[in-house]
């Protein structure tokens, strides 16, 4: 439980070597917007067997759906089911954690590109029909098509479901979608978008569901990449839907609105991010501690190594403490996912703690490196800019606190 076994260690070494060889040299051009991350994502999928593992999971699900099995009865990603457990590679959520940790040691932005891809593919896989899985989830999970997952709206961020204005109204045998989504990762280049909309139903109130929309559909436009504080290698943008007509079968999941169905939709949407983001933050923490220890041992001022000054040594000790706690939380999350015991409180607590500590540690690492830490030659200024996103995306710190408090008090 408290350390990686040989299989996970071997995977960690393979991903680390790939990141050093392929990702690190590509980051500066992607950060400057001179190269897109998607060819590299395909390379990652091919060379580390990730696309094959995800596709195999999707194909098993497809075979089950084709043979008449219905959607999973319990909320996806809470049920420990290999096909729906938050993108667990080969049914092992810890492999997913290791993958994201390693990517984010080098580029959290690139990790975000993968997370948005999985967010789209897994949303369709978890509850989509066989046709949706075959046509959209499979190519997205093979990294042949770029996926995006679009929940947030200009007027509906933290209150994403309550404030949702995007609608999908019945139009014969199809739906017409209208609305706007914002801050959507991969949106500027996405081929397949899982767009959340309030779907009209006969004789009942509308219900919020993901609806699959393909690029090229009339009425769908995406904006250019937005300028951001960090994660410059992860394109983020707006989605505009203006009477965008899609077949009725594009809705992911049933339109029934029982309490369980509503809860399942929300969990499916949010738990992947909240379960994966702690491992992304762990990657930032790990790298910051390593770089800072190395620098504190070698950099000399006033005739001493700077690590000999308490003002440098104590922040380092705090970073190491946070690293230990974050690692334990990531291991517990993976265990809970595997056992079908992941709940919203644990996911929110891990996401909150790891996001706060990664942000703090990255800024401390910049400080320990002085002027060199502020320069783009070292990875620390990017890690600090990128880390801040984890306190906002996937639900802000305040919303995680609200979720934890609610689970204690109700």
Ligand X SMILES: Cc1cc2nc3c(=O)[nH]c(=O)nc-3n(C[C@H](O)[C@H](O)[C@H](O)COP(=O)(O)OP(=O)(O)OC[C@H]3O[C@@H](n4cnc5c(N)ncnc54)[C@H](O)[C@@H]3O)c2cc1C
279 contributes a contact to ligand X by CB under 6 A: no
396 contributes a contact to ligand X by CB under 6 A: yes
Nearer to ligand X, 16 or 262 (CB): 262
Structure letter (DSSP) for residue 158: T
H or E stretch at 169: strand 167-171
Task: Kindly identify the residues of this chain, within the stretch 169-228, that bind ligand X according to CB under 6 A.
Answer: 183-185, 228
Task: Candidates 7, 9, 13, 158: give the one binding ligand X (CB under 6 A).
Answer: 158
Interacting span for ligand X (CB under 6 A) from 137-145, 212-220, 347-355, 389-397: 389-397
Report d(CA 265, CA 219) in Å as an integer: 26
Task: Candidates 91, 157, 219, 223: give the one binding ligand X (CB under 6 A).
Answer: 157
Q: How far is the CB of 270 from ligand X (least distance, A)?
A: 9
H or E stretch at 285: helix 259-298
Q: Catalytic: 273? A: yes
Interacting span for ligand X (CB under 6 A) from 50-58, 246-254, 340-348, 398-406: 398-406
Which of 78, 102, 273, 286 is an active site residue? 273
- Closest-approach residue to ligand X (CB): 157
Q: How far is the CB of 73 from ligand X (least distance, A)?
A: 26
Question: Does residue 307 contact residue 297 with C-beta atoms inside 8 Å?
Answer: yes
- Cα distances from 367 to residues 104, 149, 304, 363, in angstroms, run 20, 36, 18, 6
Q: Where are the alpha helices (DSSP H) in 204-243?
A: none
Question: Does residue 252 contact residue 123 with C-beta atoms inside 8 Å?
Answer: yes
β-bridge pairing 174-185 and 167-171: antiparallel
152 contributes a contact to ligand X by CB under 6 A: yes
150 contributes a contact to ligand X by CB under 6 A: yes
Identify which of 93, 131, 74 has the alpha carbon closest to the alpha carbon of residue 8. Answer: 93
Task: Candidates 116, 212, 331, 334: give the one binding ligand X (CB under 6 A).
Answer: 116
Nearer to ligand X, 127 or 232 (CB): 232
Task: Report phi then psi at 251, rounded to 5.
Answer: -70, 135
Task: Report phi then psi at 330, rounded to 5.
Answer: -65, -40
Q: How far is the CB of 17 from ligand X (least distance, A)?
A: 28
Structure letter (DSSP) for residue 224: P
400 contributes a contact to ligand X by CB under 6 A: no
- Cα distances from 285 to residues 108, 148, 358, in angstroms, run 11, 27, 5
Task: Candidates 167, 392, 404, 407: give the one binding ligand X (CB under 6 A).
Answer: 392
Q: Report the number of secondary-structure helices (H) and strands (E) in the chain.
A: 14, 9
Q: How far is the CB of 293 from ligand X (least distance, A)?
A: 29
Q: How far is the CB of 106 from ligand X (least distance, A)?
A: 18
b/e burial code for range 302-331 (CB count within 10 A of at least 16 → b): eeeebbeeeebeebbeebeebbebbbebbb
Nearer to ligand X, 78 or 233 (CB): 233
55 contributes a contact to ligand X by CB under 6 A: no
Report d(CA 316, CA 310) in Å as an integer: 9
Interacting span for ligand X (CB under 6 A) from 9-17, 78-86, 121-129, 390-398: 390-398
The 230-269 site mask, x for binding ligand X (CB under 6 A), equals -x----x---------------------------------
271 contributes a contact to ligand X by CB under 6 A: no
Task: Candidates 118, 395, 400, 403: give the one binding ligand X (CB under 6 A).
Answer: 395
Q: Which residues contact 84 (CB under 8 A, 6 or more apart)?
A: 61, 72, 76, 77, 122, 125, 126, 268
State the catalytic residues.
273
Q: Which residues bind ligand X (CB under 6 A)?
A: 116, 149-152, 157-158, 183-185, 228, 231, 236, 389, 392-396, 398-399, 402
């Amino acid at each position: 439980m408290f350390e990686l076994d040989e299989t996970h260690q071997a995977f960690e070494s393979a991903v680390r070597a790939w990141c050093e060889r392929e990702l690190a040299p590509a980051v500066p051009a992607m950060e400057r917007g001179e190269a897109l991350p998607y060819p590299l994502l395909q390379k990652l999928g091919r060379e580390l067997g990730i696309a094959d593992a995800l596709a195999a999971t999707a194909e098993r699900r497809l075979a089950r759906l084709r043979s008449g099995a219905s959607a999973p009865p319990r909320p996806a990603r809470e049920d420990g089911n290999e096909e729906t457990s938050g993108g667990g590679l080969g049914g092992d959520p810890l492999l997913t954690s290791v993958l994201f940790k390693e990517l984010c040691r080098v580029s959290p932005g690139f990790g975000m590109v993968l997370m948005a891809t999985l967010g789209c593919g897994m949303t369709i896989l978890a509850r989509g029909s066989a046709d949706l899985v075959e046509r959209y989830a499979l190519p997205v999970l093979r990294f042949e098509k770029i996926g995006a997952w679009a929940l947030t709206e200009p007027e509906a961020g933290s209150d994403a479901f309550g404030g949702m204005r995007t609608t999908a109204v019945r139009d014969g045998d199809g739906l017409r979608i209208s609305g706007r989504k914002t801050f959507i990762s991969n949106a500027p280049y996405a081929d397949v978008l899982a767009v959340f909309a309030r779907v009209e139903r006969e004789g009942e109130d509308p219900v919020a569901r993901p609806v699959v929309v393909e690029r090229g559909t009339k009425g769908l436009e995406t904006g250019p990449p937005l300028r951001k504080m960090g994660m410059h290698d992860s394109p983020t943008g707006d989605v505009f839907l203006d009477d965008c007509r899609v077949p009725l079968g594009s809705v992911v999941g049933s339109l029934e609105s029982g309490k369980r169905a509503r809860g399942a939709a929300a969990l499916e949407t949010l738990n992947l991010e909240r379960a994966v983001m702690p491992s992304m933050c762990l990657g930032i923490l790990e790298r910051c501690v390593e770089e800072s220890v190395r620098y504190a041992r070698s950099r000399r001022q006033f005739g001493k190594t700077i690590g000999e000054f308490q003002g440098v040594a104590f922040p380092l000790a705090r970073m190491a403490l946070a690293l230990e706690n974050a690692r334990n939380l990531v291991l517990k999350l993976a265990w809970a996912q595997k056992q079908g015991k992941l709940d919203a409180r644990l996911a929110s607590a891990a996401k909150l703690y790891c996001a706060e500590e990664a942000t703090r540690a990255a800024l401390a690492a910049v400080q320990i490196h002085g002027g060199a830490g502020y320069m783009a030659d070292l990875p620390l200024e990017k890690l600090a800019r990128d880390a801040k996103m984890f306190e906002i995306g996937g639900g802000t710190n305040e919303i995680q606190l609200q979720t934890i408090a609610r689970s204690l008090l109700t």
